[in-house]
Amino acid sequence: MFRLHDVSYLYPGRDTHKGAALSHVSVAVAQGEFRWLLGPSGAGKSSLLRILALDAQASSGMVEVLGVPVMQARRGVIARLRQRIGVVYQDFRLLDDLSVFDNVALPLRLQMRPESEIRHEVNAIMKWVGLGSRIDALPPQLSGGEQQRVAIARAVIHRPALLLADEPTNALDDRQATRLMNMFHRLAELGTTIIVATHNDALVRKYPAHAIDLMQGHLVQEG
């Protein structure tokens, strides 16, 4: 589902002498796999997620996402690939001037789905995340935990082939985190490849899975 070979990523404006966010990382993950992405702050987790989300381009190496080599891919190809990827950002990245409904509906509207289908899907997933009564609210009117649940709903509503989640349980209580992890594993069973970055050791112990472990931009363990 994605493959990285000898990938390095330099922070914008830096050179090789000042260090890299990622250094010579090689990893491959197949369709339907669930993987933890582990490592301390500054290890390179967010940089790896940005490359896989097609939000950043590797400085060197080979990156293949959903079967497509992306380093020299055209803009239209990248745009189509992004429609098959779901991302839960650590800072949520909700659009403050759009309602909860319209934020969650964005991936479906990009796919040109019928409005009747969009309304049905959004109402269903918002009920599932426990925010069915908040679909007309604006993101600034929500708590941090509510915003995180909206971000999760937006990331999964279009049933992406690749789901990337950066600390998705940070603002959730234990019950909500358990529901989320059960949903992630169900999506993996249905064929979605899922990468979850976390510092939550208890969560990793509760849901054992293979891991991509980074340290100072280097891959120290896979599997």
Higher pLDDT, 188 or 15: 188
Average pLDDT, integer, range 16-43: 90
Does residue 20 register a pLDDT over 90? no
Q: Establish if 141 belongs to a structural domain.
A: yes
Structural tokens at position 62: 């080979």
Residues 6+ apart with CB under 8 A from 106: 95, 98, 154
**pLDDT, tens only, 84-104:** 999 999 999 999 999 999 999
Q: Establish if 165 belongs to a structural domain.
A: no
Q: What is the pLDDT of residue 222?
A: 76
Domain that holds residue 152: 95-159
Q: Establish if 121 belongs to a structural domain.
A: yes
**pLDDT, tens only, 151-206:** 999 999 999 999 999 999 999 999 999 999 999 999 999 999 999 999 999 999 99
Alpha helices in the chain (DSSP H): 45-52, 75-82, 100-110, 115-128, 144-156, 174-189, 201-206
- The pTM score is 0.93
Q: Establish if 83 belongs to a structural domain.
A: no
Does residue 21 register a pLDDT over 70? yes
